[in-house]
Amino acid sequence: MSTDVLVVDGLTVYRDTYPAVQDVSFALAEGTDTAIVGPNGAGKSTLVQAVLGILPRRTGDVLVLGQPLSRKGVLPARVRQQIAYLPQNFLFDRRIPITVNELVALGWDSLGPQLPWANRQPRRLAVSRALAEVDALHLGPQPISRLSGGEMKRALLAYCLVHPRRLLILDEAPAGLDVRGESEFYQLLYQLKQAQGWAILQISHDLDMVRKHCDRVLCINRSIRCQGSPDYALSPDNLVSVYGSEFVRYRHHH
Amino acid sequence: MPSLTSTLELFQLPFMQRALIGGILTGLMGGLLGSFTILRQLSFFSDALGHSALLGISLGLLLGINPSSVLLPFAVVFALGVAYLLERTRLWTDALLNIVYSSSLAIGVILLTFVGQYKGGINSILFGDILAVRSGNLWVSALLLGACVLFVGLTLRSQILLTLHEPLAIARGISALTHRTIFIVLLALVVGTSIQAIGVLLISAFVVIPACAARLLSRSFTGYVILSALLGALGAVLGMVISAVFNLPSGPAIVTMQLAIFLVAIVLPRTKLSAV
Protein backbone atom coordinates (compact mmCIF):
# COMPACT_ATOMS: atom_id res chain seq x y z
CA MET A 1 0.00 0.00 0.00
CA SER A 2 2.89 2.36 0.71
CA THR A 3 3.55 2.85 -2.99
CA ASP A 4 -0.02 3.93 -3.75
CA VAL A 5 0.10 7.62 -4.52
CA LEU A 6 -3.66 8.00 -4.88
CA VAL A 7 -6.44 5.81 -3.52
CA VAL A 8 -10.06 6.54 -4.43
CA ASP A 9 -12.71 4.45 -2.71
CA GLY A 10 -16.42 4.50 -3.46
CA LEU A 11 -16.43 8.07 -4.76
CA THR A 12 -19.81 9.53 -5.67
CA VAL A 13 -20.18 13.12 -6.85
CA TYR A 14 -23.45 14.94 -7.51
CA ARG A 15 -23.88 17.78 -9.95
CA ASP A 16 -27.08 19.53 -9.00
CA THR A 17 -29.46 16.64 -8.50
CA TYR A 18 -27.94 13.84 -10.53
CA PRO A 19 -24.90 11.69 -9.78
CA ALA A 20 -22.19 12.61 -12.32
CA VAL A 21 -19.78 10.10 -10.78
CA GLN A 22 -21.03 7.00 -9.01
CA ASP A 23 -19.15 4.63 -6.73
CA VAL A 24 -15.76 4.91 -8.41
CA SER A 25 -12.80 3.11 -6.82
CA PHE A 26 -9.24 2.85 -8.07
CA ALA A 27 -5.64 3.25 -6.91
CA LEU A 28 -2.56 4.68 -8.62
CA ALA A 29 0.86 3.20 -7.91
CA GLU A 30 4.12 5.11 -8.13
CA GLY A 31 5.64 5.30 -11.60
CA THR A 32 2.47 4.47 -13.53
CA ASP A 33 0.55 6.29 -16.21
CA THR A 34 -3.22 5.79 -16.06
CA ALA A 35 -5.70 7.09 -18.61
CA ILE A 36 -9.34 7.91 -17.98
CA VAL A 37 -11.43 7.47 -21.12
CA GLY A 38 -15.13 7.80 -21.75
CA PRO A 39 -17.65 9.74 -23.84
CA ASN A 40 -18.42 13.43 -23.36
CA GLY A 41 -20.45 14.08 -20.24
CA ALA A 42 -19.29 10.81 -18.66
CA GLY A 43 -18.03 12.61 -15.56
CA LYS A 44 -14.30 12.37 -16.23
CA SER A 45 -13.50 16.00 -15.38
CA THR A 46 -15.92 15.88 -12.46
CA LEU A 47 -14.07 12.83 -11.14
CA VAL A 48 -10.63 14.44 -11.16
CA GLN A 49 -11.98 17.70 -9.75
CA ALA A 50 -13.55 15.83 -6.85
CA VAL A 51 -10.28 13.97 -6.28
CA LEU A 52 -8.51 17.34 -6.05
CA GLY A 53 -11.13 18.80 -3.71
CA ILE A 54 -12.28 21.38 -6.29
CA LEU A 55 -15.78 19.88 -6.34
CA PRO A 56 -17.42 18.51 -3.18
CA ARG A 57 -18.14 14.79 -3.05
CA ARG A 58 -21.24 13.08 -1.75
CA THR A 59 -19.68 9.85 -0.46
CA GLY A 60 -16.39 8.00 -0.65
CA ASP A 61 -12.81 8.47 0.47
CA VAL A 62 -9.79 9.96 -1.27
CA LEU A 63 -6.27 9.36 0.02
CA VAL A 64 -3.33 11.24 -1.48
CA LEU A 65 0.07 9.98 -0.35
CA GLY A 66 -1.71 8.28 2.54
CA GLN A 67 -3.39 11.52 3.69
CA PRO A 68 -7.19 11.72 3.57
CA LEU A 69 -8.82 14.54 1.63
CA SER A 70 -11.22 16.15 4.09
CA ARG A 71 -14.92 16.67 3.31
CA LYS A 72 -14.19 20.32 2.61
CA GLY A 73 -11.37 19.46 0.24
CA VAL A 74 -8.46 20.18 2.56
CA LEU A 75 -5.14 18.33 2.29
CA PRO A 76 -1.95 19.11 4.23
CA ALA A 77 0.13 21.75 2.43
CA ARG A 78 3.12 19.43 1.95
CA VAL A 79 0.84 16.93 0.18
CA ARG A 80 -0.64 19.67 -2.01
CA GLN A 81 2.85 20.64 -3.07
CA GLN A 82 3.32 17.07 -4.40
CA ILE A 83 0.35 17.40 -6.77
CA ALA A 84 0.23 19.16 -10.10
CA TYR A 85 -2.99 19.65 -12.04
CA LEU A 86 -3.55 20.93 -15.54
CA PRO A 87 -7.22 21.67 -16.19
CA GLN A 88 -9.08 21.14 -19.43
CA ASN A 89 -9.31 24.10 -21.81
CA PHE A 90 -7.06 26.23 -19.74
CA LEU A 91 -8.70 29.35 -21.09
CA PHE A 92 -7.80 32.06 -18.74
CA ASP A 93 -8.20 35.66 -19.61
CA ARG A 94 -5.29 36.52 -21.89
CA ARG A 95 -5.68 40.17 -20.91
CA ILE A 96 -4.23 39.36 -17.49
CA PRO A 97 -0.72 40.84 -17.52
CA ILE A 98 1.70 38.09 -16.54
CA THR A 99 4.91 36.77 -18.04
CA VAL A 100 5.71 33.12 -18.62
CA ASN A 101 8.44 33.33 -15.96
CA GLU A 102 5.93 34.61 -13.41
CA LEU A 103 3.38 31.96 -14.36
CA VAL A 104 5.85 29.10 -14.01
CA ALA A 105 7.16 30.52 -10.72
CA LEU A 106 3.63 30.22 -9.28
CA GLY A 107 4.11 26.45 -9.38
CA TRP A 108 7.28 26.56 -7.31
CA ASP A 109 6.18 28.07 -4.01
CA SER A 110 4.06 26.34 -1.44
CA LEU A 111 1.37 28.91 -0.96
CA GLY A 112 1.46 30.03 2.65
CA PRO A 113 1.97 33.67 3.65
CA GLN A 114 5.46 34.83 2.66
CA LEU A 115 7.27 37.92 1.51
CA PRO A 116 6.99 38.26 -2.27
CA TRP A 117 10.74 38.60 -2.75
CA ALA A 118 11.72 35.59 -0.57
CA ASN A 119 13.67 32.73 -2.23
CA ARG A 120 14.25 34.71 -5.37
CA GLN A 121 17.41 32.94 -6.54
CA PRO A 122 16.33 29.28 -6.14
CA ARG A 123 12.95 30.10 -7.65
CA ARG A 124 14.52 31.68 -10.70
CA LEU A 125 16.79 28.67 -11.17
CA ALA A 126 13.92 26.23 -10.91
CA VAL A 127 11.88 28.24 -13.42
CA SER A 128 14.67 28.24 -16.03
CA ARG A 129 15.22 24.53 -15.54
CA ALA A 130 11.53 23.75 -15.97
CA LEU A 131 11.26 25.95 -19.08
CA ALA A 132 14.35 24.33 -20.57
CA GLU A 133 12.81 20.91 -19.98
CA VAL A 134 9.79 21.77 -22.13
CA ASP A 135 12.02 23.52 -24.68
CA ALA A 136 10.55 26.95 -23.92
CA LEU A 137 13.37 28.83 -22.24
CA HIS A 138 13.05 31.58 -24.85
CA LEU A 139 9.43 32.19 -23.83
CA GLY A 140 10.30 33.21 -20.26
CA PRO A 141 10.10 37.03 -20.55
CA GLN A 142 7.04 36.92 -22.88
CA PRO A 143 3.63 38.00 -21.62
CA ILE A 144 1.11 35.18 -21.95
CA SER A 145 -1.04 37.32 -24.23
CA ARG A 146 1.52 36.74 -27.01
CA LEU A 147 1.68 32.93 -26.76
CA SER A 148 0.19 30.51 -29.27
CA GLY A 149 -1.93 27.62 -28.02
CA GLY A 150 1.00 25.21 -28.15
CA GLU A 151 3.38 27.61 -26.42
CA MET A 152 0.82 28.10 -23.68
CA LYS A 153 0.64 24.35 -23.13
CA ARG A 154 4.41 24.22 -22.74
CA ALA A 155 4.37 27.07 -20.25
CA LEU A 156 1.68 25.31 -18.22
CA LEU A 157 3.57 22.05 -18.31
CA ALA A 158 6.61 23.91 -16.99
CA TYR A 159 4.34 25.21 -14.19
CA CYS A 160 3.68 21.56 -13.28
CA LEU A 161 7.34 20.51 -13.55
CA VAL A 162 8.93 23.40 -11.71
CA HIS A 163 8.72 21.55 -8.41
CA PRO A 164 9.24 17.78 -7.95
CA ARG A 165 5.84 16.13 -7.59
CA ARG A 166 4.45 12.67 -6.93
CA LEU A 167 1.11 12.98 -8.71
CA LEU A 168 0.34 14.70 -12.01
CA ILE A 169 -3.29 15.04 -13.07
CA LEU A 170 -3.91 16.15 -16.63
CA ASP A 171 -7.29 16.91 -18.15
CA GLU A 172 -6.78 16.47 -21.89
CA ALA A 173 -3.41 18.10 -21.62
CA PRO A 174 -1.82 17.49 -25.04
CA ALA A 175 -4.83 18.81 -26.99
CA GLY A 176 -3.62 21.85 -28.92
CA LEU A 177 -0.07 20.62 -29.46
CA ASP A 178 1.09 19.75 -32.94
CA VAL A 179 2.35 16.26 -33.80
CA ARG A 180 5.92 16.94 -32.81
CA GLY A 181 4.89 18.74 -29.64
CA GLU A 182 2.61 15.87 -28.73
CA SER A 183 5.27 13.22 -29.11
CA GLU A 184 7.73 15.30 -27.08
CA PHE A 185 5.04 15.75 -24.47
CA TYR A 186 4.51 12.02 -24.09
CA GLN A 187 8.24 11.44 -24.02
CA LEU A 188 8.52 13.90 -21.15
CA LEU A 189 5.71 12.19 -19.25
CA TYR A 190 7.45 8.83 -19.75
CA GLN A 191 10.65 10.27 -18.36
CA LEU A 192 8.92 11.73 -15.29
CA LYS A 193 7.23 8.42 -14.68
CA GLN A 194 10.32 6.24 -15.15
CA ALA A 195 13.09 8.37 -13.68
CA GLN A 196 11.25 10.20 -10.92
CA GLY A 197 8.43 7.81 -10.16
CA TRP A 198 5.58 10.27 -10.76
CA ALA A 199 2.12 8.77 -10.88
CA ILE A 200 0.22 10.23 -13.82
CA LEU A 201 -3.55 10.34 -14.20
CA GLN A 202 -4.73 11.74 -17.51
CA ILE A 203 -8.08 12.20 -19.13
CA SER A 204 -7.80 11.52 -22.82
CA HIS A 205 -9.93 11.28 -25.94
CA ASP A 206 -7.06 10.00 -28.05
CA LEU A 207 -7.41 6.23 -27.74
CA ASP A 208 -4.43 5.54 -30.00
CA MET A 209 -2.17 7.62 -27.78
CA VAL A 210 -3.57 5.88 -24.71
CA ARG A 211 -2.81 2.47 -26.27
CA LYS A 212 0.74 3.52 -26.98
CA HIS A 213 1.70 5.33 -23.79
CA CYS A 214 -0.44 4.37 -20.82
CA ASP A 215 -0.04 1.40 -18.49
CA ARG A 216 -3.63 1.24 -17.43
CA VAL A 217 -7.00 2.50 -18.56
CA LEU A 218 -10.12 3.36 -16.57
CA CYS A 219 -13.20 3.41 -18.82
CA ILE A 220 -15.76 5.66 -17.25
CA ASN A 221 -19.33 6.43 -17.99
CA ARG A 222 -20.55 7.78 -14.68
CA SER A 223 -19.21 4.64 -13.02
CA ILE A 224 -16.20 2.52 -13.96
CA ARG A 225 -17.21 0.28 -16.86
CA CYS A 226 -13.93 -1.54 -17.13
CA GLN A 227 -10.33 -1.14 -16.11
CA GLY A 228 -7.10 -2.86 -16.95
CA SER A 229 -4.28 -2.83 -19.47
CA PRO A 230 -4.99 -0.83 -22.64
CA ASP A 231 -5.24 -4.02 -24.72
CA TYR A 232 -7.97 -5.37 -22.48
CA ALA A 233 -9.80 -2.19 -21.53
CA LEU A 234 -9.89 -0.81 -25.07
CA SER A 235 -11.04 -4.06 -26.69
CA PRO A 236 -14.03 -3.62 -29.03
CA ASP A 237 -16.42 -5.27 -26.57
CA ASN A 238 -15.43 -2.95 -23.77
CA LEU A 239 -15.59 0.10 -26.01
CA VAL A 240 -19.17 -0.78 -26.91
CA SER A 241 -20.06 -0.87 -23.24
CA VAL A 242 -18.49 2.56 -22.64
CA TYR A 243 -19.15 4.54 -25.79
CA GLY A 244 -22.10 2.65 -27.30
CA SER A 245 -22.18 0.53 -30.46
CA GLU A 246 -22.31 3.49 -32.87
CA PHE A 247 -18.89 4.67 -31.85
CA VAL A 248 -17.20 1.32 -32.36
CA ARG A 249 -18.77 0.81 -35.77
CA TYR A 250 -17.50 4.26 -36.76
CA ARG A 251 -13.97 3.45 -35.68
CA HIS A 252 -13.95 0.15 -37.57
CA HIS A 253 -15.14 1.67 -40.81
CA HIS A 254 -12.59 4.46 -40.87
CA MET B 1 -4.66 81.65 -13.13
CA PRO B 2 -3.06 82.01 -9.67
CA SER B 3 0.72 82.05 -9.48
CA LEU B 4 2.86 79.11 -8.37
CA THR B 5 3.63 80.72 -5.03
CA SER B 6 0.02 81.25 -4.14
CA THR B 7 -0.68 77.60 -4.97
CA LEU B 8 2.23 76.53 -2.77
CA GLU B 9 0.89 78.75 -0.01
CA LEU B 10 -2.44 77.00 -0.36
CA PHE B 11 -0.79 73.65 0.30
CA GLN B 12 0.70 75.03 3.52
CA LEU B 13 -2.77 75.20 4.97
CA PRO B 14 -3.34 72.18 7.25
CA PHE B 15 -6.68 71.21 5.70
CA MET B 16 -5.10 71.22 2.22
CA GLN B 17 -2.26 69.03 3.46
CA ARG B 18 -4.74 66.61 5.03
CA ALA B 19 -6.72 66.56 1.81
CA LEU B 20 -3.55 65.85 -0.19
CA ILE B 21 -2.43 63.02 2.11
CA GLY B 22 -5.96 61.63 2.20
CA GLY B 23 -6.07 61.68 -1.60
CA ILE B 24 -2.73 59.90 -1.88
CA LEU B 25 -3.75 57.21 0.64
CA THR B 26 -7.05 56.62 -1.14
CA GLY B 27 -5.29 56.58 -4.51
CA LEU B 28 -2.77 53.98 -3.30
CA MET B 29 -5.44 51.74 -1.76
CA GLY B 30 -7.80 52.06 -4.71
CA GLY B 31 -5.02 51.30 -7.19
CA LEU B 32 -3.70 48.35 -5.20
CA LEU B 33 -7.02 46.57 -4.71
CA GLY B 34 -8.26 47.85 -8.06
CA SER B 35 -5.57 45.91 -9.92
CA PHE B 36 -7.18 42.67 -8.72
CA THR B 37 -10.72 44.02 -8.84
CA ILE B 38 -10.75 44.70 -12.57
CA LEU B 39 -9.09 41.38 -13.48
CA ARG B 40 -11.60 39.50 -11.35
CA GLN B 41 -14.37 41.45 -13.06
CA LEU B 42 -15.54 43.03 -9.83
CA SER B 43 -15.46 46.62 -11.17
CA PHE B 44 -19.20 46.88 -11.09
CA PHE B 45 -19.19 45.38 -7.62
CA SER B 46 -17.10 48.28 -6.32
CA ASP B 47 -19.52 50.67 -8.01
CA ALA B 48 -22.46 49.01 -6.25
CA LEU B 49 -20.59 49.24 -2.94
CA GLY B 50 -20.09 52.96 -3.46
CA HIS B 51 -23.74 53.62 -4.27
CA SER B 52 -24.95 51.53 -1.37
CA ALA B 53 -22.97 53.73 1.02
CA LEU B 54 -25.69 56.35 0.61
CA LEU B 55 -28.09 53.88 2.19
CA GLY B 56 -25.64 53.35 5.05
CA ILE B 57 -25.27 57.08 5.63
CA SER B 58 -29.02 57.74 5.62
CA LEU B 59 -29.62 54.81 7.98
CA GLY B 60 -27.08 56.35 10.36
CA LEU B 61 -28.72 59.76 10.13
CA LEU B 62 -32.19 58.31 10.64
CA LEU B 63 -31.11 56.38 13.73
CA GLY B 64 -29.29 59.42 15.05
CA ILE B 65 -25.88 57.73 14.95
CA ASN B 66 -22.83 59.44 13.49
CA PRO B 67 -22.96 58.33 9.82
CA SER B 68 -19.23 57.77 9.56
CA SER B 69 -19.30 55.20 12.36
CA VAL B 70 -22.21 53.36 10.71
CA LEU B 71 -20.63 53.41 7.30
CA LEU B 72 -17.79 50.90 7.76
CA PRO B 73 -19.77 48.09 9.40
CA PHE B 74 -22.59 48.73 6.95
CA ALA B 75 -20.25 48.52 3.95
CA VAL B 76 -18.74 45.23 5.13
CA VAL B 77 -22.06 43.55 5.91
CA PHE B 78 -23.53 44.85 2.67
CA ALA B 79 -20.56 43.62 0.61
CA LEU B 80 -20.68 40.15 2.13
CA GLY B 81 -24.43 40.00 1.61
CA VAL B 82 -24.15 40.97 -2.04
CA ALA B 83 -21.26 38.51 -2.59
CA TYR B 84 -23.40 35.76 -1.08
CA LEU B 85 -26.35 36.76 -3.28
CA LEU B 86 -24.17 36.70 -6.40
CA GLU B 87 -22.97 33.21 -5.57
CA ARG B 88 -26.42 31.85 -4.78
CA THR B 89 -28.51 33.15 -7.67
CA ARG B 90 -28.09 32.27 -11.29
CA LEU B 91 -28.81 35.70 -12.71
CA TRP B 92 -26.19 37.74 -14.53
CA THR B 93 -23.81 39.55 -12.24
CA ASP B 94 -24.15 42.97 -13.87
CA ALA B 95 -27.95 42.78 -13.83
CA LEU B 96 -28.02 41.77 -10.16
CA LEU B 97 -25.57 44.51 -9.19
CA ASN B 98 -27.71 47.01 -11.04
CA ILE B 99 -30.70 45.99 -8.93
CA VAL B 100 -28.60 46.28 -5.79
CA TYR B 101 -27.17 49.70 -6.41
CA SER B 102 -30.17 51.44 -7.89
CA SER B 103 -32.46 50.16 -5.15
CA SER B 104 -30.05 51.08 -2.35
CA LEU B 105 -29.70 54.54 -3.88
CA ALA B 106 -33.50 54.87 -4.08
CA ILE B 107 -34.10 53.68 -0.53
CA GLY B 108 -31.27 55.87 0.74
CA VAL B 109 -32.77 58.99 -0.82
CA ILE B 110 -36.22 58.18 0.58
CA LEU B 111 -34.74 57.70 4.06
CA LEU B 112 -32.96 61.04 3.73
CA THR B 113 -36.31 62.80 3.28
CA PHE B 114 -37.29 61.65 6.79
CA VAL B 115 -34.10 63.05 8.27
CA GLY B 116 -35.04 66.63 7.55
CA GLN B 117 -32.10 68.96 7.52
CA TYR B 118 -28.78 67.22 7.03
CA LYS B 119 -26.10 69.85 7.33
CA GLY B 120 -23.72 68.29 4.83
CA GLY B 121 -26.50 67.98 2.32
CA ILE B 122 -26.93 65.27 -0.29
CA ASN B 123 -24.45 67.01 -2.53
CA SER B 124 -21.53 66.26 -0.23
CA ILE B 125 -22.64 62.62 0.05
CA LEU B 126 -22.78 62.24 -3.71
CA PHE B 127 -19.53 63.99 -4.54
CA GLY B 128 -17.67 64.02 -1.25
CA ASP B 129 -15.68 66.74 0.41
CA ILE B 130 -12.00 65.97 0.56
CA LEU B 131 -11.25 69.31 2.26
CA ALA B 132 -13.27 68.15 5.28
CA VAL B 133 -10.93 65.21 5.93
CA ARG B 134 -9.73 65.14 9.56
CA SER B 135 -6.54 63.70 10.91
CA GLY B 136 -8.52 60.83 12.49
CA ASN B 137 -9.70 59.84 9.00
CA LEU B 138 -6.11 59.87 7.81
CA TRP B 139 -5.05 57.45 10.54
CA VAL B 140 -7.85 55.06 9.61
CA SER B 141 -6.83 55.27 5.94
CA ALA B 142 -3.16 54.72 6.76
CA LEU B 143 -3.95 51.67 8.90
CA LEU B 144 -6.18 50.28 6.18
CA LEU B 145 -3.51 50.86 3.53
CA GLY B 146 -1.08 48.96 5.76
CA ALA B 147 -3.55 46.08 6.05
CA CYS B 148 -4.07 45.98 2.27
CA VAL B 149 -0.32 46.01 1.55
CA LEU B 150 0.29 43.26 4.11
CA PHE B 151 -2.52 41.08 2.79
CA VAL B 152 -1.67 41.47 -0.90
CA GLY B 153 2.09 41.29 -0.26
CA LEU B 154 2.09 38.17 1.88
CA THR B 155 -0.39 36.27 -0.29
CA LEU B 156 0.65 37.70 -3.65
CA ARG B 157 1.15 34.34 -5.38
CA SER B 158 -2.14 32.96 -4.08
CA GLN B 159 -3.89 36.11 -5.27
CA ILE B 160 -2.36 35.81 -8.74
CA LEU B 161 -3.35 32.15 -9.02
CA LEU B 162 -6.90 32.89 -7.87
CA THR B 163 -7.11 35.67 -10.44
CA LEU B 164 -5.80 33.46 -13.24
CA HIS B 165 -7.86 30.35 -12.64
CA GLU B 166 -9.71 29.48 -9.47
CA PRO B 167 -9.78 25.66 -9.84
CA LEU B 168 -6.04 25.69 -10.41
CA ALA B 169 -5.59 27.65 -7.19
CA ILE B 170 -7.86 25.29 -5.24
CA ALA B 171 -5.89 22.31 -6.55
CA ARG B 172 -2.83 23.90 -4.93
CA GLY B 173 -4.63 24.02 -1.60
CA ILE B 174 -5.66 27.69 -1.61
CA SER B 175 -8.97 28.35 0.11
CA ALA B 176 -10.76 30.37 -2.54
CA LEU B 177 -13.65 31.25 -0.25
CA THR B 178 -11.43 32.62 2.54
CA HIS B 179 -9.37 34.74 0.16
CA ARG B 180 -12.42 36.00 -1.70
CA THR B 181 -14.08 36.99 1.59
CA ILE B 182 -11.03 38.82 2.91
CA PHE B 183 -10.61 40.63 -0.40
CA ILE B 184 -14.24 41.74 -0.48
CA VAL B 185 -14.08 42.93 3.15
CA LEU B 186 -10.95 44.98 2.38
CA LEU B 187 -12.55 46.43 -0.74
CA ALA B 188 -15.65 47.37 1.25
CA LEU B 189 -13.50 49.04 3.93
CA VAL B 190 -11.54 51.00 1.32
CA VAL B 191 -14.74 52.18 -0.33
CA GLY B 192 -16.30 52.97 3.07
CA THR B 193 -13.36 55.02 4.36
CA SER B 194 -13.05 56.94 1.11
CA ILE B 195 -16.72 57.84 0.69
CA GLN B 196 -16.52 60.99 2.79
CA ALA B 197 -13.72 62.43 0.66
CA ILE B 198 -14.74 61.22 -2.78
CA GLY B 199 -18.49 60.69 -2.61
CA VAL B 200 -20.63 57.70 -3.49
CA LEU B 201 -20.79 58.44 -7.21
CA LEU B 202 -17.09 58.71 -8.00
CA ILE B 203 -15.44 56.28 -5.59
CA SER B 204 -15.36 53.36 -8.04
CA ALA B 205 -13.23 55.46 -10.41
CA PHE B 206 -10.40 55.18 -7.84
CA VAL B 207 -10.62 51.42 -8.08
CA VAL B 208 -11.07 51.04 -11.83
CA ILE B 209 -9.31 53.82 -13.77
CA PRO B 210 -5.70 53.65 -12.42
CA ALA B 211 -5.77 49.85 -12.68
CA CYS B 212 -6.88 50.00 -16.32
CA ALA B 213 -4.15 52.52 -17.12
CA ALA B 214 -1.57 50.30 -15.39
CA ARG B 215 -2.80 47.29 -17.36
CA LEU B 216 -2.12 49.12 -20.62
CA LEU B 217 1.46 49.82 -19.54
CA SER B 218 2.43 46.48 -17.94
CA ARG B 219 3.48 43.05 -19.01
CA SER B 220 4.41 41.51 -15.66
CA PHE B 221 1.91 41.03 -12.86
CA THR B 222 4.00 42.42 -10.02
CA GLY B 223 4.86 45.52 -12.03
CA TYR B 224 1.20 45.96 -12.87
CA VAL B 225 0.05 45.88 -9.23
CA ILE B 226 2.70 48.38 -8.11
CA LEU B 227 2.13 50.68 -11.07
CA SER B 228 -1.62 50.64 -10.48
CA ALA B 229 -1.14 51.85 -6.88
CA LEU B 230 1.35 54.53 -7.96
CA LEU B 231 -0.92 55.81 -10.74
CA GLY B 232 -3.74 56.01 -8.20
CA ALA B 233 -1.56 58.24 -6.02
CA LEU B 234 -0.37 60.30 -8.99
CA GLY B 235 -3.95 60.95 -10.08
CA ALA B 236 -4.77 62.16 -6.57
CA VAL B 237 -1.81 64.55 -6.42
CA LEU B 238 -2.47 65.99 -9.87
CA GLY B 239 -6.17 66.28 -9.14
CA MET B 240 -5.57 68.11 -5.85
CA VAL B 241 -3.24 70.59 -7.52
CA ILE B 242 -5.67 71.22 -10.37
CA SER B 243 -8.52 71.65 -7.94
CA ALA B 244 -6.50 74.13 -5.83
CA VAL B 245 -5.26 76.15 -8.79
CA PHE B 246 -8.56 76.41 -10.64
CA ASN B 247 -10.80 76.22 -7.57
CA LEU B 248 -12.57 73.07 -8.80
CA PRO B 249 -14.36 70.46 -6.67
CA SER B 250 -11.57 68.07 -5.65
CA GLY B 251 -13.20 64.64 -6.12
CA PRO B 252 -14.20 65.31 -9.76
CA ALA B 253 -10.80 66.97 -10.37
CA ILE B 254 -8.97 63.81 -9.23
CA VAL B 255 -11.15 61.55 -11.37
CA THR B 256 -10.57 63.82 -14.37
CA MET B 257 -6.81 63.52 -13.83
CA GLN B 258 -7.15 59.74 -13.58
CA LEU B 259 -8.91 59.86 -16.92
CA ALA B 260 -6.06 61.96 -18.33
CA ILE B 261 -3.52 59.36 -17.13
CA PHE B 262 -5.61 56.62 -18.70
CA LEU B 263 -5.77 58.46 -22.03
CA VAL B 264 -2.01 59.01 -21.98
CA ALA B 265 -1.56 55.26 -21.32
CA ILE B 266 -3.67 54.50 -24.39
CA VAL B 267 -1.68 56.82 -26.61
CA LEU B 268 1.82 55.91 -25.38
CA PRO B 269 3.66 53.53 -27.72
CA ARG B 270 3.32 50.05 -26.27
CA THR B 271 6.83 48.87 -27.13
CA LYS B 272 8.70 51.34 -24.97
CA LEU B 273 6.76 51.00 -21.76
CA SER B 274 5.69 47.39 -21.86
CA ALA B 275 8.92 46.40 -20.11
CA VAL B 276 7.44 47.30 -16.72
**Model pLDDT for residues A99-151, shown as the tens digit of each residue:** 999 999 999 988 778 888 888 899 999 999 999 988 889 999 999 888 887 78
* A92, A97, A111 member nearest B165 (Cβ): A92
Residue B30: band (very low, low, confident or very high) from pLDDT cuts 50, 70, 90: very high
At residue A183's C-alpha, the angle toward residues A179 and A187, to 5°, is: 170
Task: Report the percent of chain B where pLDDT is more than 90.
Answer: 46
Residue B272: band (very low, low, confident or very high) from pLDDT cuts 50, 70, 90: very low
Higher-scoring residue by pLDDT: B237, B133? B237
Tell me if B161 and A106 make a contact (CB, 8 A cut-off): yes
Tell me if A87 and B170 make a contact (CB, 8 A cut-off): no
pLDDT of residue A254: 47
Amino acid identity at B106: A
* Domain extent for B73: 4-273
Between helix B203-217 and helix B176-198 the angle, nearest 10°, is: 120
What is A4-82+165-253's CATH topology? Rossmann fold (3.40.50)
Q: Other C-beta atoms within 10 Å of B231: how many?
A: 27
Please report, for chain A, how many H helices and E strands are present, in that order: 10, 10
In 3-state terms, what secondary structure has residue B184?
helix
Between helix B203-217 and helix B250-267 the angle, nearest 10°, is: 20
Domain coordinates of chain A in residue numbers?
4-82+165-253, 93-164
Q: Look up the CATH number of the domain holding residue B159.
A: 1.10.3470.10
- B158 touches A111 (CB < 8 A): yes
Looking at CA atoms only, how far is residue B194 from chain A in angstroms? Answer: 27
User: How many CA atoms lie within 13 Å of A183's alpha carbon, on the beta-carbon side?
Assistant: 2
Minimal CA–CA distance to A47: which of A29, A28, A32? Answer: A28
Tell me if B154 and A106 make a contact (CB, 8 A cut-off): no
Interchain contact A97–B (C-beta under 8 A): yes
Those residues with Cβ within 8 angstroms of residue B103's Cβ, 6 or more apart along the chain or in another chain: none
Minimal CA–CA distance to A55: which of B181, B158, B84, B170? Answer: B170
Minimal CA–CA distance to B36: which of B207, B234, B205, B194? Answer: B207
Per the prediction, chain A carries an average pLDDT of 86
Interchain contact A109–B (C-beta under 8 A): yes
Which of A34-38, A72-76, B25-29 is the most confident on average? B25-29
Interchain contact A73–B (C-beta under 8 A): yes
Residue B2: band (very low, low, confident or very high) from pLDDT cuts 50, 70, 90: low
Residues in chain B: 276
User: What does each C-alpha distance from B272 to A133, A251, B64, B263 come to in angstroms?
Assistant: 31, 54, 56, 16
Tell me if A113 and B155 make a contact (CB, 8 A cut-off): yes
Kind plus residue range of the DSSP H or E element containing A36? strand A33-37
Residues from chain B contacting residue A83 (CB–CB below 8 Å): 171-172
Residue B7: band (very low, low, confident or very high) from pLDDT cuts 50, 70, 90: confident
Residues from chain A contacting residue B221 (CB–CB below 8 Å): 96-99, 102
Amino acid identity at B153: G
Tell me if A52 and B215 make a contact (CB, 8 A cut-off): no
